[in-house]
Amino acid sequence: MIGRIKDFLGFDIKADKYKLSSDPLFGIISDEKKPDKWVFSTCGYCGVGCGLHIGVKDGKAVYTKGNPAHGVNMGTLCPKGLSEHQMINSGDRVTTPLIKKDDELVYASWDDAYTKVAREFKRIASEHGEKAVGVISTGQLLTEEFYTLGKFVQLGLGTNNYDGNTTLCMASAVMGYKQSLGSDGPVGSYEDFQYANTIILIGANISDNHPILKLHIAKNEKKPKIIVIDPRASKTSQMADLFVPIKPRTDLALFNGLAYIVMEQGWEDEGYIKANTNGYKELKKHLQNYPPQEVSNITGIDVKTLYEIARQFVAQESVLSAWTMGVNQSFMGTDTVSAIINLHLLTGQIGREGAGPFSITGQCNAMGTRESGFTSSLPGYRNFGDEKALSDYAKIAKVPEDIVPTERGYKYAEIIDAIDRGEIKALWVVATNPLVSFVNQDKLRKTFAKLDMLVVQDAFMSDTAEIADVVFSAATWGEKEGTYTNSERRCNRANKAVEPLSNTKSDFDIIVDFSKHFDGVNELLFPSWEKPIDAFNEFKELTRGQLCDYTGITYELLEKEGGIQWPCNEERPLGTKRLYSPDIPFRTKDEKANLIIADWFPMNEAVTKEFPLILNTGRTVEQWHTRTKTRSIDILNDLAPEAWVDINPVDAKKLKVKSGDRISLSSPRGRVEDVVVRVSQSVAPSNVFVPFHFNTQLINKLTSESFCPKSGEPNYKQTAIQLHSDEVPDGIEFESEEISGEITHVKSKFEGIALQEKEKIVLNEK
């Protein structure tokens, strides 16, 4: 009472709470949060992989500070990284294992949770076969954990129906690298942003998604020409010298068209092509279908601009093409990646400072799971089906050959389909949240309801965890140790700063402990494994002689150097800045890169009378993925507390809405209500943009099940939709465009789409 009165009268100005004091490491900082110690680590959000220090006070994380000696971020951090310590103490954490009883998740012991899941997995395996258990993991764990999880799932549970959310994200880049260069593995370094004469950003909104990369562009003293290719004038378009507003999903045609111009003008590097590539003649013949005028008609980019972009590849010493989800999340994503790589191979713009194709990764350790995770390949970039790879693996991992899988199982979307068909009965979801991030949400919910058992292993109470039968409460970033690999192949050290919250365990411990509930599995797979380093050492041995060679890497070296870019071995003790320099051959059998023949197809769900607009989805800098980590961090969440829809003033006028009004969006698959309108010229008429983070306005109710047949990656970026305002509830009337999207002599029906989509198209045509 007295305190209240005193406070009302204003005696207390909380001066102590807000005073500053001097920290020996970082100088003058907030006194209340002045740490007892700083722990060297790496950011756990995105694939940029920033070095940082976690400040710990009384056993709690209180600060995150960028590491100025770390080459990736040089002391800076994005807003999520700066507030990352708040994430650990989020109110949305799952603090203890949970088991569903009478439709409610109740606290359980670890032993009960493991026993229940193990019993159910074993029952399903005996009744329906081991492959009736599916696993969907993530790009969020540490490499050691990925290796442990993959080994357990593939060799312990005996199911290869195992994939990660990386298939929603980087799979097209992976498959593109594989088919063009012979192996997965991003080519360049961030410092290439600093050295390139021309930087082409394709479907990459780095201002929102990877702001720290701007640091490397800012360092570029050549004043590089920046070309941004995107159907939306995103924040990133503002840094462009040339903004290229490409028509949605015509990127593949564009890169084929640019390659045509390169060949037509004789701008290719013949010597390089001859020495290093296969398939030149076939490509040249194929590209005759992509003359500039036709490509201009398809892409909406005028011919002069096409020549200007193509000319960069010969006029400039170094050209860097960086892309993210705009390219990958495409029903022809793999081939689009290859078309970009084609351009670089044709002009020899690869393997040099400032030059190369560069996929920017989404998640902190999507790369780690690609290298070690056992989903799209055997660990260490060994291909499924390669007998030598299999026996090598078995020998190094000391396991019988017959339990090593010979082929890849179902990809993400195929797992979902198999659940729908009743083929997969149990699903184990690790650190991902399909109930926000996957396409066609209404259907996905129904599909998940068919499962006998859904296990979710997560640090946060995600939408998917809410409907789980059992939840494994995981520790999160800062509470566990291991390594992350970033977009530039840099393996970074992440240390444990604080003890796992309450009754949570690191994913490594969860998997190893869980394996003890399966007869003999723990002894076979994880003999005397106690710490992540046990997994690291085994994985390291698996990479010997592979492209992702880790053999020269130690945890100590990672801290000392601020991360190491693989390959790192005796020859390259401090790693390798870029692949495919003259001394690093391509990873194909004949050590030559493949020029890939890639065809462009029009979208299979083009706009219709009923759904005349194209929805594009993406991200905003303040939020992370499905917001499980960021929604309780006020300073981030307040800046973007809900989804919005960018619509062009032309469409706003038709709908009689203005900024701040609320509208609904619909597609053949569902409807999203109550989305706030942002009228903006950042989108073209008939195009809208909505961020996908928000379960409150779940935009993935609308997106369709259209996938790249090679990578399995969904085509998130274009969905035909309708908008409904209060005044115009039926939405916008369709205005037919002049037909410009089809090349007559190319197949115009795309054959790679999932079966049910084909049926739908047939139905639509009737």
Partner 1 sequence: MQTPLESFIDHKADTGMQCGNYSIDIPDLKDGEQYRFHFDATACVGCHCCEVACNEQNNNPADIKWRRVGEVEGGVFPQFSQIFNSMSCNHCIDPECLIGCPTESYIKIAETGIVIHDDDTCIGCQYCTWNCPYGVPTFHEERNIVTKCHMCYERLDVGQTPACVQACPSGAIEIETVNVQEWLERDIDDQANMPFLPDARITNSTTRYTLPENMPDDLKEVDEHILKPSHSEMPLVFMTVLTQVSLGGFLALFLGDVMSLFGFSQTNWIMALLVMLPAALGLPLSALHLGRPFLALTAMKNIKSSWLSREALALGVFVLLMNIVVVMYFVEAPHVSILLVELLTLVVGIYGIHAQAMIYRIKARPSWDRITTNFKFFGTLHVGILLLGLIAVIFGLKEVAIPLITLSMLGAISQLFFTYEDLRTLKSTTLNEYQLLRTARLYDENFSNVKRFRFISIVIGGLLLPLFTIVLFSTSSFGAASFVMFIALLLSISSEFSDRFLFYSTVVPLGMAGGFFVGKQRD
Q: Which of residues 191-230 bind partner 1 (CB under 8 A)?
A: 206-208, 211-212, 214-215, 218-219, 221
Q: Which is nearer to partner 1, 437 or 680 (CB)?
A: 680
Q: Rounded CA gap, 249 and 332, in Å? A: 9
x/- track of binding to partner 1 for residues 662-701 (CB under 8 A): ----------------x-xxxxxx----------------
User: Which of the stretches 31-39, 122-130, 269-277, 579-587 binds partner 1 when contact is defined by CB under 8 A?
Assistant: 31-39
CB nearer to partner 1: give 247 or 352.
247
Segment interacting with partner 1, rule: CB under 8 A, options 8-16, 162-170, 482-490, 723-731? 8-16
CB closer to partner 1 out of 277 and 718: 718
Stretch that binds partner 1, among 26-34, 459-467, 724-732, 739-747 (CB under 8 A): 26-34
Residues 711-750 that bind partner 1 (CB under 8 A): none
Nearest C-alpha neighbor of 258 from the set 360, 357, 361: 357
Q: Which is nearer to partner 1, 217 or 404 (CB)?
A: 217
Q: Does 111 bind partner 1 (CB under 8 A)?
A: no
Angle between helices 251-264 and 292-299 (to 10 degrees): 160
Scanning 19-27, 118-126, 160-168, 382-390 for contacts with partner 1 by CB under 8 A, the matching segment is 19-27
Return the residues of window 232-251 that contact partner 1 according to CB under 8 A.
233, 235-239, 243, 245
Whole-number minimum distance, CB 638 to partner 1, in Å?
6
Please answer whether residues 701 and 669 qualify as being in contact, where contact means their C-beta atoms are separated by less than 8 angstroms.
Answer: yes
Minimal distance, residue 210 CB to partner 1, in Å: 10
Whether the CB-CB separation of 667 and 615 falls below 8 Å is answered with yes
Give the x-and-dash track for 422-461 against partner 1 (CB under 8 A): ----------------------------------------
- Alpha-carbon distance 461 to 91, whole Å? 9
Q: Count residues contacting partner 1 (CB under 8 A)?
A: 81
Whichever of 234 and 626 has its CB closer to partner 1, that residue is 234
Contact between 471 and partner 1 by CB under 8 A: the answer reads no
Q: What's the N-to-C CA distance of the chain in angstroms?
A: 76
Shortest Cβ distance from residue 67 to partner 1 (Å)? Answer: 7
Smallest gap, in angstroms, from Cβ of residue 449 to partner 1? 35
Separation in Å, CA 713 to CA 201, 359, 420, 752: 20, 15, 18, 12
* Residue 301 dihedral angles phi and psi, to the nearest 5°: -100, 130
Q: State the SS3 of 239-255.
A: HCCEEECCCCCCHHHHH
Q: Which is nearer to partner 1, 419 or 683 (CB)?
A: 683
- Interface with partner 1, residue 474, by CB under 8 A: no
- CA–CA gap between residue 647 and residue 435 (Å, rounded): 26
By C-beta, is 4 or 745 nearer to partner 1? 4
DSSP 333-344: HHHHHHHHHHHH
Helix then strand then coil, in percent of the chain rounded to 5, is 35, 20, 45
- Which 64-83 positions form the footprint of partner 1 (CB under 8 A)? 65-69, 73-79, 82-83
CA–CA separation, 760 vs 753, rounded Å?
A: 11
Query: Applying CB under 8 A, does 479 fall inside the site for partner 1?
Result: no
Q: Do 580 and 187 contact (CB within 8 A), yes or no?
A: yes
Buried/exposed 665-683: b ≥16 CB within 10 Å, e otherwise: bbbbbbebeebebbbbebb
User: Considering only residues 543-562, where is the footprint of partner 1 by CB under 8 A?
Assistant: 559-560
Instruction: Classify strands 20-23 and 27-30 as parallel, antiparallel or unpaired.
Output: antiparallel
DSSP track, 181-207: HSS------THHHHH-SEEEEES--HH
Q: Which of residues 555-594 bind partner 1 (CB under 8 A)?
A: 559-560
What mask of x and - would describe binding to partner 1 in positions 47 to 66, judged by CB under 8 A? ----------------x-xx
Smallest distance, partner 1 to C-beta of residue 68, A: 4
By CB under 8 A, the residues from 325 to 384 that bind partner 1 are none
User: Residue 225 Cβ, how far from partner 1 at the closest point, in Å?
Assistant: 15
On whether the CB atoms of residues 332 and 273 are closer than 8 A, the answer is no
Q: How are strands ordered across the β-sheet holding 225-229? A: 242-244, 225-229, 198-202, 319-323, 356-359
Q: Pick from 462, 515, 648, 704 the residue near partner 1 by CB under 8 A.
A: 648
Task: Give me the phi and psi of 120, to 5 degrees please.
Answer: -70, -40
Task: Tell me the H-state helices in 135-170.
Answer: 143-151
Residue 657 touches partner 1, criterion: CB under 8 A = no
* Distance (Å, whole) CA 190 – CA 70: 12
Among 2, 3, 4, 27, binds partner 1 (CB under 8 A): 27
